[in-house]
Amino acid sequence: MSHRKQLHDVFPGRAKQINQILGFMGNSWVSTPPSLLINGNSSLGKTAVVKAVLSTVLAGKSPSRYAFLDCVECHTPRLIFEHAIYQFRNPPPTPAGSLPKQPKADISTEQDSLDQGSGGKDEQEEGSISNKRRKAATATGDIRKKQKTGATDNNEQIWDKCENINEFVEWCRKICDQDDIDDSKNTSLDVGRSAGKKDTRYLVLDRAERLRDTAPSLIPVLMRLQELTGRNICVILITQIVWEKFRSKTGGYEPIVLNFPQYTKTETIAILERDMPQGEDPVMYMRFVDLVYDVFQRNCKDLNEIRHLVSLLFPLYVKPVKEGKMQSTEVLKLHRHIQAYFVEAMDKLYLREISSMEWSDRTLQVASKSDERGHDSGLTRISGAPGSERAMMTAVGVQNVFDLPYFTKFILIASFLASYNPAKLDMRYFAKVSNQGGKMTKRAKISAAKKHGHDQLGSKLRQQLLGPRPFQIERMLAIFYSILDEEVEENVNVHTQIASLVSLRLLQRVTPMDKLDSIKCKCNVSYEAIKAIAKSTKFDIDKYLYDFS
């Protein structure tokens, strides 16, 4: 019960999940279900809670009763098998590659004796001490060699590398049987434990969604690891996706699913309260945390991102108070002071256009200059860019937010051309073979504009001023295949990409949904945004636009 209460205090808002994991584990010798899946969004404490529960409940067990692996580091089945075997055979506090405790104790003992007797020893005694230190160093080197080869002092057995799942299953059996023999003397110490009961071992795979790409056939086998080994081994998967995306066509056992829900406002503020810097006013800090949550929680659900914003913006919030320009009770003035920084942080930091250190240095430098001038710097001066440059950054932000695939960008460019170019000029712009030998020149554009009732500037009925015009999907696809110099890959479904653009509201469907043929759409993207997208694909869109400036 003390461990349970301690874990509840360390992880606020996760008491229910901690109780469920502890109930799932039960006593160390009780059989557990074969697998457990823990899912939830990022920054919800999944990894930290599982690691803390295992290290707290299974503390003092040597060798370790659990192996904690990151699927980003262990990106192949062989790395997973070998790291799991190594962690099962070594105590949890000992990191991989470190020396055993006994040689370190010998060396420290020799060092202590050397320090105590350094004042009154003769040369002979110093020589003997140096000889002892050489022997200790030699023993340490031997242990390093044994550790690299996998040899042990007890039976000098060399542990081979684990290449496949069959070898991993066999090693798990040997490790469990050997550890249970070593622990058989202490079984009488556990109340309610009968003879022959063996401790449960846990194989934890963090960021397990990586297994779908690297080793998709490994997941069904891990779900049956307890059955294959015949030992009490439980597999715990920690992931951000649901179990339905792990299922394979070959089938397999269904794990017990434990979901970590999103933090509520009370739980988030309770976590942020622990990050309060020393020496700060608690009332002022909590008021600022509540303000940050109300401003950013609609656009940002990541707890680590909110903690980062609080630590970054709070020094700017309390700066006028520390300089004596405002009082801590002047809430409205402090809110107006920090409002410009909120807008800048939401525009820059969340899109990661600049680093947080660069943003902090820039804002502090501009703020100091504005204080010397004696007036507020404003949002434009905080950004350090003029209005036109800032507008271009906002336009480029559209591209950063959606991050469209390569062929989807060309579909959007073709849609923009179909919306703003007359259909009569498609042959002149997009035909592969033309009788006039090339694209329309500037002189030809002016003559065509006069023919269609425009003046030289095209200001009479310019499509740019009228807005996007609906186009048929077939016409847009013809433009798409014309401007694309390479062939479309077979696995690219163009109509699926168009549906995605419609769902993102980059394309707007004009025809009703019940009409399946002759579908018409129009482009819903500005010229600045489409120019930025065309620039990312190295496509000169100005050469294909008619009467546009």
Cα 331–336–340 angle (5° rounding)? 140
Q: How far apart are CA 493 and CA 228, in angstroms?
A: 42
The neighbouring-strand residues paired with 239 are 39
**Are 257 and 229 a contacting pair, CB within 8 Å?**
no
Q: What is the pLDDT of residue 255?
A: 92
Q: Which of 119-128, 130-139, 353-362, 464-473 has the highest mean pLDDT?
A: 464-473
Q: Is the dihedral of CA 469, 472, 478, 481 positive or negative?
A: positive
**Which of 77-81, 401-405, 533-537 shows the lowest mean pLDDT across its residues?**
401-405
The confidence score (pLDDT) of residue 235 equals 95
The rounded distance, in Å, linking the Cα atoms of 144 and 138 is 10
Report the relative pairing of strands 35-39 and 233-239 from DSSP bridges: parallel
Contact 17, 258 (CB under 8 A): yes
* Whether the Cβ atoms of residue 546 and residue 425 lie closer than 8 Å to each other: yes
CB-CB contact of 445 with 455 (8 Å)? no
* Residue 256, pLDDT score: 93
Residue among 475, 366, 347 nearest 421 (CA) = 475
Cα gap 54→36, rounded to integer Å: 14
- The answer to whether 6 touches 56, Cβ cutoff 8 Å, is yes
Mean of the per-residue pLDDT values of the chain: 74
> pLDDT tens for residues 450-468?
555 454 444 455 666 677 8
* Cβ contacts of 498-503, under 8 Å, gap ≥ 24: 498/411, 498/473, 500/408, 501/408, 501/411, 501/412, 501/415
Instruction: Indicate if the pLDDT at residue 393 is higher than 50.
Output: no
Residue 364 pLDDT > 70, yes or no? no
Q: Measured between alpha carbons, how far is 435 from 417 in angstroms, rounded to an integer? A: 22
| CA dist., res. 320 & res. 338, Å (int) | 10
Looking at per-residue pLDDT, the higher value among 279 and 387 belongs to: 279
Query: What pLDDT score does 392 carry?
Result: 35
**Amino acid, res. 124:** Q
Which residue is it, tokens 């016409």?
475
| Model pLDDT for residues 192-233, shown as the tens digit of each residue | 555 556 788 999 999 999 988 877 788 989 999 999 999 889
CA 113 to chain centroid, in Å, comes to 51
Residues 6+ apart with CB under 8 A from 529: 395, 398, 399
Predicted pLDDT at 288? 94
pLDDT at 178: 77
pLDDT at 155: 42
Q: What is the pLDDT of residue 384?
A: 38
Is the model more confident about 458 or about 521?
A: 521
Q: How far apart are CA 67 and CA 225, in angstroms?
A: 14
Q: Are 311 and 275 in contact (CB under 8 A)?
A: yes
Q: Please report, rounded to a whole number, the percentage of residues in the chain having pLDDT higher than 70.
A: 66
Residue 363: helix, strand or coil by DSSP?
Answer: helix
Across the range 129-157, mean pLDDT stands at 45
Q: What percent of the chain has pLDDT over 90?
A: 22
Whether residue 335 contacts residue 313, with contact meaning beta carbons closer than 8 Å, is answered with no
Asked whether residue 265 carries a pLDDT value surpassing 50, the answer given is yes
pLDDT for res 458: 44
pLDDT at 446 over 60: no
Residues 321-337 pLDDT 10s: 998 899 988 888 898 88
Q: State residue 491's pLDDT score.
A: 67
Prediction pTM value: 0.56
**Smallest Cα–Cα separation from 542: which of 476, 464, 470?**
464
**Residue 253, pLDDT score:** 84
> Quick one: pLDDT at residue 16?
94
Helix axis angle, 165-182 to 77-89, nearest 10°? 10
Helices (H), 243-330: 265-273, 282-296, 303-322
- Evaluate whether 509 touches 468 at the Cβ level (below 8 Å): no
Question: Is 70's pLDDT higher than 90?
Answer: yes
Position 237 scores a pLDDT of: 95
Cis peptide before 63 (omega within 30 of 0): yes
pLDDT reported for residue 259: 94
C-beta of residue 293 within 8 angstroms of C-beta of residue 269:
yes
Other CB atoms within a 10 A radius of the CB of residue 265 amount to: 11
Contact 28, 58 (CB under 8 A): yes
Q: How confident is the model at residue 485 (pLDDT cuts 50, 70, 90)?
A: confident
How far, in Å, CA of 34 to CA of 236, rounded?
A: 9
What is the DSSP secondary structure assignment for residue 158, as one 8-state letter?
A: P
- Give the pLDDT band of residue 429 (cuts 50, 70, 90): confident
